[in-house]
């Protein structure tokens, strides 16, 4: 038996799953994690998780992100198009990101960030974590097939990362000692008949939900906000309410003994890191 302890590139990682408008719960969770003193060394996000994650990695406070979406309608972030590869263009979301993100490339973010998308041609999960395709990679991660047209990056068509990896814990598991995962993809029983748009939405949600099972078991702390499963993927009328649910869920979760112990270890690790950096700074003068 080896006595060597495994080494990790990062101490703490956040994995934020996809879920459309339910992803505003991520903002409440991030606020609660901030209040507990935790700060991630890396963030990975799929779809709505990529959207919340990139703003957080760019230094936005959750309250600032709420303001960007308050009193907005879904079609303000989308544009109708000829339905050849999708009914809508993600041009509005692209403009929102370009207008508000301070970072123009991955390397300018305050926290390392990974966006998860799907290569539509080759049928595989792809991650983006460097270069100047920051905005395009997040838009790609949010481009639900059929509803939205694919996002092209370097002439390759990409769609929502939730097709194969809606809850991307496994993609950073080996790199992180601890992973906090936020899963917002649970679905509710069908309440009534649907139109074709809602049928497409529900089909995608069922598919995305089915590929989260393995990743749920890989989390050190798993946070799953309840009471949002009936929310439409594109409902922007309850942004703050959904965020509040995420916040309360996370506060409760962080009071559990396992979460307390992990938080304690992470805070101790951060303190030691500060001491080491200060020592190196003094001795290098």
Answer whether residue 79 shows pLDDT above 60. Answer: no
Active site residues: 47, 160
212-249 pLDDT, tens digit per residue, is 888 999 999 999 998 887 777 777 888 889 999 999 99
| Percent of residues, the chain, with pLDDT higher than 90 | 64
Mean pLDDT of all residues in 87-113: 91
Closest CA relative to residue 265, chosen from 38, 72, 82, 75 = 38
Query: CA–CA separation, 43 vs 62, rounded Å?
Result: 15
Residues 58, 103 contacting (CB under 8 angstroms): yes
According to the model, what pLDDT value does residue 1 have?
Answer: 39
Mean pLDDT of all residues in 82-105: 83
pLDDT tier, 74 (very low <50, low <70, confident <90, very high otherwise): low
Answer whether residue 267 shows pLDDT above 60. Answer: yes
According to the model, what pLDDT value does residue 4 have?
Answer: 56
Residue, of 198 and 154, whose pLDDT is higher: 154
| Percent of residues, the chain, with pLDDT higher than 70 | 85
pTM > 0.95: yes or no? no
Strand partners, 69: none
Count CB neighbours of 269 within 10 A: 15
Residue, of 89 and 107, whose pLDDT is higher: 107
According to the model, what pLDDT value does residue 215 have?
Answer: 95
According to the model, what pLDDT value does residue 2 have?
Answer: 44
Q: What does DSSP say about strands 79-80 and 124-128: parallel, antiparallel, or unpaired? A: unpaired
Q: What are the CA-CA distances from residue 267 to residues 90, 121, 164 (Å)?
A: 39, 43, 34
Q: Kindly give, in sequence order, each residue whose CB lies less than 8 Å from that of residue 108, ignoring residues fewer than 6 positions away.
A: 102
6-42 pLDDT, tens digit per residue, is 789 999 999 999 988 899 999 999 999 999 999 999 9
Count CB neighbours of 201 within 10 A: 19
């Amino acid at each position: 038996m080896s006595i060597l302890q495994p080494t990790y590139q990062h101490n703490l990682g956040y994995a934020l799953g996809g879920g459309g408008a339910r992803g505003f719960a991520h903002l409440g969770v991030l606020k609660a994690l901030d209040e507990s003193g935790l700060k991630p060394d890396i963030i990975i996000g799929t779809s709505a998780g990529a959207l919340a994650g990139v703003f957080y990695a760019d230094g936005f406070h959750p309250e600032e992100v709420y303001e960007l979406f308050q009193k907005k309608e879904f079609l303000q972030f989308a544009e109708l198009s000829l339905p050849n590869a999708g009914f809508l263009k993600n041009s509005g979301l692209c403009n929102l990101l370009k207008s508000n993100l301070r970072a123009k490339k991955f390397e300018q973010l305050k926290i390392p960030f990974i966006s998860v998308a799907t290569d539509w041609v080759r049928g595989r999960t792809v991650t983006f974590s460097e270069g100047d395709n920051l905005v395009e990679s997040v838009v790609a991660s949010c481009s639900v097939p059929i509803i939205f047209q694919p996002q092209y990056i370097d002439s390759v068509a990409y769609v929502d990362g939730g097709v194969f990896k809606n809850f991307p814990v496994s993609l950073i598991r080996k790199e992180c000692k601890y992973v906090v995962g936020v899963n917002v993809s649970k679905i509710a029983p069908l309440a009534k008949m649907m139109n074709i748009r809602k049928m497409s939405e529900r089909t995608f949600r069922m598919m995305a939900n089915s590929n989260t099972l393995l990743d749920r078991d890989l989390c050190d702390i798993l946070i799953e906000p309840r009471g949002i499963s009936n929310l439409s993927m594109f409902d922007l009328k309850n942004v703050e309410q959904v965020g509040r649910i995420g916040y309360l869920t996370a506060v409760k979760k962080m009071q559990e003994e396992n979460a307390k112990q992990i938080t304690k270890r992470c805070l101790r690790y951060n303190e030691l890191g500060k001491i080491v950096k200060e020592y190196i700074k003094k001795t290098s003068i």
